[in-house]
Amino acid sequence: MTSGTHIDGAAILAVLAEQRGARACLEAAQDAWTALEGASGITALHVRVDPIFDIMPTEEVLSKDRQRLMELDAVKEGHALHDIYAAWMVGLPANVPSNWYDIGGSEDAKIEEFARIARMTVIARLDAHSRGHAHEAFHTCLFRTGKPLLVVPDRYQKRDVRRILVAWKDTAPSRRALEAAAPWLKNVEQVLLLRIGDERPLELEWAVERLVDLGVRSKTLNVPRNLSLSVGRQILREAHAVDADWIVAGAFHHGEFLGWILGGVTETLLKEATLPVFFMH
């Protein structure tokens, strides 16, 4: 168990909210470190959460016995996550610095504390079995840190980041995502700028010019809208067609809760992507 914050602004932060997807999260953090010049290392963070975040909506009162059982479960999960971290460390190259933090306290406050210092945060995506504390961690990473987030499918396996697809719509979140991804875009072999719909050169103008300013060579893909698919699923199809390693996209939400627009692009990418998605809210 470690307390205190000892992380610098060039570190990649891997938030291990639950066992499912924890190894994938660490593998993707390593890939993000490899693809970024000047990254100082990888910090793995697990926050031992207050049981109140995991009670069922029908439970109005948390009894002392149940609270004790949930506290023991949280400790057990922390040990299991450290075992996953230790197993990952066995294959980590000696030149990749890494450290582990298991900290008690408010999940959102502790994640914000670390993430606001780090260069990027990485977290495994949620699924139907994710508990309350994992939802809280995910929401904090996506909307409250002010830093880029890499969302990783739980079956992700380590791979070089060589080709990045930027899903483009000329909006403020998309512009923020492109700017935040720039350090990685500069270091990959190919950047593909995807726009879905009728060809509108002016909508791509800002992105193309900004990438040139950043010293990033890109190729533009203007794909007709496929009305048999949602926009999110069409983005995923195009990403697989070009064998992309990451998708870069802006993140949208309603209010302060996980109220993603039903059927919206953000929700589809978060739920269905089989490769990491880089978000900047």
pLDDT values of the chain reduced to their tens digit, one per residue, 281 residues: 444 456 777 899 999 999 999 999 999 999 999 999 878 899 999 998 766 555 544 455 667 776 677 677 778 888 999 999 999 999 999 889 999 999 887 888 899 999 999 999 999 999 888 988 898 899 899 888 989 999 999 999 999 999 999 999 898 889 999 999 999 999 999 999 999 987 777 788 999 999 999 999 999 999 999 999 999 999 999 999 999 999 999 876 543 334 333 347 888 898 999 999 999 87
SS3 114: helix
Task: Report the C-alpha gap between 258 and 4 in whole angstroms.
Answer: 29
Contact, 236 vs 272, CB < 8 A? yes
Task: Report the C-alpha gap between 161 and 188 in whole angstroms.
Answer: 7
The CATH number of the structural domain formed by 11-152 is 3.40.50.620
Task: Report the C-alpha gap between 9 and 25 in whole angstroms.
Answer: 19
Over its C-alpha atoms, the chain yields an Rg (Å, rounded) of: 19
Owner of token pair 């291990």: 16
The DSSP annotation for 122-143 comes to EEEPP-TT--HHHHHHHHHHHH
Residue 50: the pLDDT is 65
Q: Which amino acid is at 97?
A: P
Owner of token pair 């007709």: 224
Q: Which CATH class is domain 163-280?
A: alpha beta
Task: Report the C-alpha gap between 278 and 226 in whole angstroms.
Answer: 24
Residue 6: the pLDDT is 64
Owner of token pair 């408010």: 106
Phi, psi of 9 (to 5 degrees): -70, -5
Write out the residue limits of the CATH 3.40.50.620 domain(s) in the chain. 11-152, 163-280
Q: In the chain, where does DSSP find H-type helix?
A: 22-34, 64-90, 107-115, 132-143, 172-185, 201-213, 231-241, 265-272
Closest CA to 29 of 188, 21, 257: 21
Contacts of 70 (CB under 8 A, 6+ apart): 51, 54, 55, 62
Residue 61: the pLDDT is 60
The two three-digit tokens of residue 194, written as one number:
């995807």
Contact, 178 vs 248, CB < 8 A? yes
Contact, 40 vs 11, CB < 8 A? yes
- Cα dist from 69 to 46, 65, 175, 223, whole Å: 19, 6, 46, 53
